[in-house]
């Protein structure tokens, strides 16, 4: 079984290595139903409340109610992470179309710093709890932080597109 934190680090490394305008090819695309669940939430009043913050967990939380193992819990988080990571990457790509070369370089540096911070913050669950629950807690942290970052970039993209 691959570790959730490890797969997020690989995705992050690929994202860093590519130029701003390149799409990141992920080994497993998000499930269409999971994408629709997140997108429907973002378009709803719930999604507009707190600028999307209340949509974090709309895939993970119901899935966790059916999870029977730590591996199941990590798989639930991975499903939603794929959706938010896809939103983040697409938003980053679209935002890049509105940036000059200096802004692109700064955006790339900003993303690299964010990835490093997210990885360290979410890895701390291992350092602190050091037990079975550390893995799903770290996985959920990756979902939460990736979703928040996607929403952060959406703000800039919407500003750039005049929305």
86 within 8 A of 29, measured Cβ to Cβ:
yes
Residue tagged 């990736």 (tokens): 146
Domain that holds residue 12: 4-16+31-160
Q: What is the pLDDT of residue 24?
A: 37
Q: Please indicate, yes or no, if residue 138 is contained in any of the structural domains.
A: yes
Q: What is the pLDDT of residue 131?
A: 86
pLDDT band at 111 (very low <50, low <70, confident <90, very high): very high
Work out how many domains the chain is built from and give that number: 1
pTM of the predicted model over 0.85: no
Mean pLDDT of the chain: 84
70 has a pLDDT exceeding 50: yes
89 has a pLDDT exceeding 70: yes
The SS3 call for residue 78 is helix
72 within 8 A of 60, measured Cβ to Cβ:
no
Q: Please indicate, yes or no, if residue 148 is contained in any of the structural domains.
A: yes
Q: Please indicate, yes or no, if residue 122 is contained in any of the structural domains.
A: yes
Q: Please indicate, yes or no, if residue 153 is contained in any of the structural domains.
A: yes
């Amino acid at each position: 079984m691959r570790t959730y934190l490890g797969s997020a680090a690989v995705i992050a490394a690929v994202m860093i290595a590519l130029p701003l305008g390149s799409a990141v090819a992920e080994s497993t695309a998000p499930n269409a139903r999971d994408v629709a669940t997140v997108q429907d939430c973002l378009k709803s009043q719930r999604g507009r409340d707190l600028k999307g913050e209340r949509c974090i967990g709309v895939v993970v939380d119901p899935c966790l109610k059916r999870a029977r193992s730590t591996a199941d819990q990590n798989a639930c988080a991975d499903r939603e992470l794929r959706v938010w990571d896809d939103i983040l990457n697409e938003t980053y790509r679209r935002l890049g179309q509105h940036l000059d070369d200096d802004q692109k370089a700064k955006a790339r540096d900003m993303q690299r710093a964010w990835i490093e911070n997210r990885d360290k913050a979410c890895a701390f669950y291992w350092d602190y709890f050091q037990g079975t629950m550390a893995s799903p807690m770290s996985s959920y942290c990756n979902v939460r932080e990736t979703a928040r970052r996607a929403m952060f970039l959406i703000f800039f993209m919407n500003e750039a597109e005049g929305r």
